Structure 1
Amino acid sequence: MGEWREVPLGTVATHYRGYSYSSSELDDRGEDSFISLKVFDKGGGFREGGVKRIRGFVPEQFRVPGGSLLLANTDLTRDADVVGAPALVPPRFHNAIISMDATRVVPDLGQVDERYLALILGTGEARSFMRGSSAGSTVLHLDTKRLDVLPIRVPPLEEQRRIAEILDTIDETIQATERVIAKLERVRSGLAHSLIGAIEAPRARLRDVASLTSGSTPSRSRNDYWNGSIPWVKTGEVRGNVIDSTEELITDRALAECPLEVYPAGTVLVAMYGQGSTRGRVAMLGVPATTNQACAAIKSAPAVLDESYLFEFLKYGYDALRSLSHGSHQENLSTRLVGAFELPVPSLPEQTQVVAVLDSASARLDAEKADLEKLRQTRAGLADDLLSGRVRTVAA
């Protein structure tokens, strides 16, 4: 097997930025596909839903063939997750126009395979280099001149192709699993709407069949309040899920000195405010935990209301929950508004029957998600081994 080399990107590829456009040129009825920042996944990859349309004359130099390698050179995210992300243009977008937020990287195909180059530019080292080569206070911009000195590992060309083929095969399996999950989620959502929407039972305000409270945020200036052992939930973690762990933990001292309560597993949470679509989302605690002040913690009266039924109903009622704040003097929800939310309360056996049907639909979905996570872990480990040269491929 041939030796690996480490070379500056500029010795094996050229690059250029896309078309500087104005928003007035974007038009859903435009003649050409337009590739903007929205096509780039945070971890790398092409989001077809981010493709727009553009009208009018655009110089031919900004059109790219299918299979072209692009990099995101702008980033609006708080954590710089997008800048430098690579993406290969799908064949169906052949001859699309790329925006100024994208850079096309054109490899010397006698030295480097385009698919391999996309993989190597997606490694942690390359992404870190590109983040370090970006600047801006609110919008990050990649200094594309620095790309020429980005160090990349280059094995023999045939080995590059084998590496790309191996990882492409795993990616295809991952994508197929993602499609299955998306279909199962649609089926479960439709089933929930059919079951819950058809319930005919006396209605009650939430505060009449449950207790509602909220938590707080311990002072960030007190180091003795943080990095303890008690889970603490933020609204960003409330995503229609069961919460088994949290991003942050607080200490016993924080619990003793701050207006906080440890809620038992089974408590249902509603995000009362937060960015974007967060307001109105629900979750259920899988472990005892505290919350911040933006979460309404709802403990159902067990003789009247099954906690899992409540969880499912509030997920179903997401839009209605969000609308409670409309017409008030605030955009946020509150425990008072959430407590006024009405829901049908059938008998406990009927509630548990609804939950059992939905749990059955969730079982395969959960199994597919577990398989997807294993595939992603396998892919990450294999990519690390192959792209570092620790594991070498052998020609068939």
Structure 2
Amino acid sequence: MVPKGWTPSQIGDVAKFSSGGTPSKQNADYWGGTEPWISGKDLKTHYLETSIDALTEAGFQAAKKAPKGATLVLVRGMTLLKDFPVGYATREVAFNQDVKALVPAKNVDGLFLSFLLVAEKHKILQLVSTAGHGTGRLDTHSLQEYPVNIPPLPEQKKIAQILSTWDKAIATTEQLLANSQQQKKALMQQLLTGKKRLGMPDNSYDFKKTRYGIIPKDWEYPAIKDVCTQVTEKNTESADYPVLSCSKYDGFVDSLKYFKKKVYSDDTSGYRLIHRGCFGFPSNHIEEGSIGLQNLYDTGIVSPIYVIFRAKPKKVENTYLYAVLKTDHYRQIFGAATNASVDRRGSLRWKEFSLIHVPLPPLEEQQRIAVVLSTADQEISALQQKLEALKQEKKALMQQLLTGKRRVKVDDKEVA
């Protein structure tokens, strides 16, 4: 049903389609500048003003360009098999042959059109066919004939203004999240190496050299086997414990909830038990940083390929050790140990893993470090939740505004 005052139309009637191209790669004077040349990989962001590959002024003048206010969409490429990227040109941009520019008609607001295409992307994806070499292809005529309902121009502009305000809130929150993550990373670099110590003035303690790097003299540098013990319990009774997986960034996750489908065996009798407070990693993926601290359930189970271990509580604060093992430095150590392992499957077993050394402050200092890092994690988690809520609220708002189910006020008058 068409909302009152809206006009049923097709995309080809409300925008002129323009094809892009690639300036000569043989002409060095064309490349390496600052002028945006948009390709599919630049359409990961909605607002287009910069690009990964950029042109010089000469290259920009020689290129095919789209004006400010145009909508750019991908019509060829692997990405089309799973997504329909849409971007809005906030300035004049050049673009390549895998992209089409939709230049809006005079009675169409370009930003509104870009939001409308984003809202319709899942339906438009059904028009994508598979071209040579398994790439996706979106036929121009099919896209031009795609039906849309267009409100009057003032209402278009108001809808676009509202949605762009949400985008600004999302962008602000994304920047705050990135800043918090970077601050935590810098804090970890300081605290986990002893370059900064809580409650101790700088230059008030001496350092010693280890394979990990420089650490305070009063810190220990034990092998993992000296402060942790392996756990090898199996789910021999096939108890109905939740099956867990370990991800690179999130640590342990509930497999069913995370993958939204069953990716494990029906027979879990050979799976390993992992109790709360235990560490674990898949022996064939630890070099990617996939190591976790299990704090989801009192008891879970993991695939037989996992190595499970428990830290000695009188020597180790779990949160501190987990932070150390999740650093990029230790991911590199795990990779080197895996490459040196005699296991032909490229796995890192407990025997080799347990020989790796870790920097270990006194237990009380570990606990203080853990509190600081936990506080940083809470701030990051709160921002992640806020960001997800903003994205979901914007998605719901788009569904309401771009279909006319919810109308907006234009010139202080409610559109009915």
Q: Structure 2-normalised TM-score?
A: 0.77
1:38 lines up with 2:41 in the alignment: yes
Matched residue type, 2:242: I
CA-CA distance at 1:278 after TM superposition:
7.5
1:100 lines up with 2:78 in the alignment: no
Local SS of the residue matching 2:17: strand
Which whole-Å deviations, capped at 9, do the CAs of 1:334-359 have from their partners, x for residues lacking one?
22543332212333222211111111
Where do 1:295-306 residues align within 5 Å? 296-306=307-317
Asked if 1 retains the 8 angstrom alpha-carbon contact of 2:272 and 2:304, the reply is no
1:261 lines up with 2:272 in the alignment: yes
Q: What corresponds to 2:397 in structure 1? A: 382
1:350 lines up with 2:365 in the alignment: yes
1:202 lines up with 2:211 in the alignment: no
**CA distance, structure 2, for counterparts of residue 269 and residue 10 of structure 1:** 55
**CA distance, structure 2, for counterparts of residue 130 and residue 273 of structure 1:** 36
Count of paired positions: 371
Cα pair distance change 1:164/1:210, threshold 3 Å = same
Asked if 2 retains the 8 angstrom alpha-carbon contact of 1:214 and 1:291, the reply is no
1:246 lines up with 2:258 in the alignment: yes
Which whole-Å deviations, capped at 9, do the CAs of 1:25-80 have from their partners, x for residues lacking one?
68863464321221122xx6247775212467577561223333111223435x93
Cα pair distance change 1:242/1:292, threshold 3 Å = closer
Where do 1:9-28 residues align within 5 Å? 9-20=11-22
Q: What corresponds to 2:384 in structure 1? A: 369
CA-CA distance at 1:128 after TM superposition:
2.8
Matched residue type, 2:148: I
Cα pair distance change 1:348/1:52, threshold 3 Å = same
**CA distance, structure 1, for counterparts of residue 23 and residue 345 of structure 2:** 35
Asked if 2 retains the 8 angstrom alpha-carbon contact of 1:69 and 1:88, the reply is yes
Q: What corresponds to 1:308 in structure 2? A: 319
CA-CA distance at 1:294 after TM superposition:
6.3
CA-CA distance at 1:180 after TM superposition:
1.0
Where do 1:109-148 residues align within 5 Å? 109-110=106-107, 112-123=108-119, 125-136=120-131, 138-148=134-144
Local SS of the residue matching 2:73: strand
Local SS of the residue matching 2:296: coil
CA-CA distance at 1:23 after TM superposition:
6.2
1:334 lines up with 2:348 in the alignment: yes
Q: What corresponds to 1:219 in structure 2? A: none
Q: What corresponds to 1:81 in structure 2? A: 82
Q: What corresponds to 1:232 in structure 2? A: 244
Matched residue type, 1:70: L
CA-CA distance at 1:265 after TM superposition:
3.1
Asked if 1 retains the 8 angstrom alpha-carbon contact of 2:170 and 2:391, the reply is yes
Asked if 1 retains the 8 angstrom alpha-carbon contact of 2:48 and 2:89, the reply is no
Matched residue type, 2:104: P
CA-CA distance at 1:99 after TM superposition:
1.4
Structure 1 unaligned blocks of 5 or more: 217-224
1:322 lines up with 2:319 in the alignment: no
CA-CA distance at 1:260 after TM superposition:
0.9
Asked if 2 retains the 8 angstrom alpha-carbon contact of 1:238 and 1:269, the reply is no
Q: What corresponds to 1:279 in structure 2? A: 288
Which whole-Å deviations, capped at 9, do the CAs of 1:82-108 have from their partners, x for residues lacking one?
3x21111233xx3x3211222111111
Cα pair distance change 1:81/1:361, threshold 3 Å = same
Structure 2 unaligned blocks of 5 or more: 195-214
Q: Structure 1-normalised TM-score?
A: 0.80
CA-CA distance at 1:6 after TM superposition:
3.0
Cα pair distance change 1:71/1:32, threshold 3 Å = same
CA-CA distance at 1:271 after TM superposition:
5.6
**CA distance, structure 2, for counterparts of residue 48 and residue 294 of structure 1:** 47
**CA distance, structure 2, for counterparts of residue 320 and residue 48 of structure 1:** 40
Local SS of the residue matching 1:385: helix
CA-CA distance at 1:284 after TM superposition:
3.0
Cα pair distance change 1:195/1:57, threshold 3 Å = closer
**CA distance, structure 2, for counterparts of residue 325 and residue 28 of structure 1:** 41
Asked if 1 retains the 8 angstrom alpha-carbon contact of 2:272 and 2:303, the reply is no
Q: What corresponds to 1:164 in structure 2? A: 160
Deviates more, 1:196-205 or 1:241-250: 241-250
Larger radius of gyration: 2
What is the CA RMSD across the aligned residues, in angstroms? 3.5
CA-CA distance at 1:15 after TM superposition:
1.4
Cα pair distance change 1:240/1:192, threshold 3 Å = farther
CA-CA distance at 1:20 after TM superposition:
4.2
1:179 lines up with 2:175 in the alignment: yes
